[in-house]
A = this chain, B = another copy of it.
């Protein structure tokens, strides 16, 4: 069927070992011989089989990438970073999407392990079980967030805490006192890094933490929209909304428009995650930019080239506050809706 190293060897009148040496540059080969081998290979259209090659040597390399989805611009950019790093290091990338489903995620990781990949980069959604095995069998690095209950696996994270703190301080500095936080943990759930940073920032500023303005929402369009609508319809006293993710920010923008609220005159809006549309919005949205591409790149390099450093969580990468036009001074409590 396909043309093998033997065919090339026969075509060039040499042994298979010589052909292998030509293609890997591993041993000494006479110039004339090399030319003949190359010519025969070109003529026959020979391509060494990556499968057989990996069978003999080590695992064969390659990186697995597991993400919830690709339509999220942050995830897409993170993937681009991983792909760029892998390309630079000469490795290929196998990708699959969990869709936020832990079972599917576990299945994906299983397939990756069978492929004997050198490393796996994951934005996890599930819990520890499959990750523990992956960490044992291959390199594993989390990106954006980490799975709980899997010690010793490094995570390449953005410094969300500092980003949210800066954003909170910025809003407070504009004079806002009734700042809603969109994307809090469900009642009874454990608040995440961003929510804790929001609370801490308010406290440090000497402001009360308005528990009723911490609106729970899951990061999907339906939940985000419902949360934003519930908030802006019922709470006239809110003068600023801090959305904990771009889907939540999107929902806030849409709801504000539907309620004929002017941004930022009636309500200021800002969010975590600087996605392309933030600049296209009217007014353009103030946001915390997280370095998605750099995170992907770093995660990939970590998993491929730094087996020693694995186990030590690397520094979070800085998140930058990008001030645009969607935040202004508060206008006092709105009258009615």
Count this chain's copies in the assembly.
2
A54 to B92, CA, bound (A): 17
In the complex, which residues of chain B have a beta carbon less than 8 angstroms from the beta carbon of A299? none
Partner-binding segment picked from A109-117, A118-126, A154-162:
A109-117
Chain B nearest CB from A75 CB (Å) reads 9
Verify if A250 is at the interface (C-beta below 8 Å from B). yes
Given A92-B94, A92-B115, are A76 and B70 neighbors across the interface (CB < 8 Å)? Answer: yes
Chain B nearest CB from A181 CB (Å) reads 21
Partner-binding segment picked from A29-37, A43-51, A329-337:
A43-51
Main secondary structure of the interface of A (DSSP, over half): helix
Verify if A95 is at the interface (C-beta below 8 Å from B). yes
In the complex the two chains form, is A45's CB within 8 Å of B137's CB? yes
In the complex the two chains form, is A80's CB within 8 Å of B73's CB? no
Partner of A280, one of B49, B93, B110, B254: B254
In the complex the two chains form, is A95's CB within 8 Å of B93's CB? yes
Verify if A133 is at the interface (C-beta below 8 Å from B). yes
Verify if A2 is at the interface (C-beta below 8 Å from B). yes
Interface residues in A53-100 (C-beta closer than 8 Å to B) = 54-55, 59-60, 69-71, 73, 76-77, 79-80, 83-84, 87, 92-97
In the complex the two chains form, is B280's CB within 8 Å of A2's CB? no
Question: Could you tell me how many residues of chain A have their Cβ less than 8 Å away from some Cβ of chain B?
Answer: 48
Verify if A281 is at the interface (C-beta below 8 Å from B). yes
Partner of A282, one of B71, B113, B115, B282: B282
Partner of A60, one of B51, B77, B87: B51
In the complex the two chains form, is A71's CB within 8 Å of B60's CB? no
A257 to B45, CA, bound (A): 55
A71 to B77, CA, bound (A): 6
In the complex the two chains form, is B114's CB within 8 Å of A47's CB? yes
A131 to B52, CA, bound (A): 24
In the complex, which residues of chain B have a beta carbon less than 8 angstroms from the beta carbon of A41? none
Residue of B nearest to A253 (CB): B280
List of 4 A-B pairs having minimum Cβ-Cβ separation, nearest first: A277-B277, A282-B282, A70-B76, A50-B115
Not counting A2-B116, A51-B52, A84-B97, a sample of 13 additional A-B residue pairs whose C-beta atoms are within 8 angstroms of each other reads: A47-B137, A50-B115, A51-B54, A51-B55, A51-B115, A52-B55, A70-B83, A71-B73, A71-B77, A71-B80, A93-B96, A253-B280, A281-B282
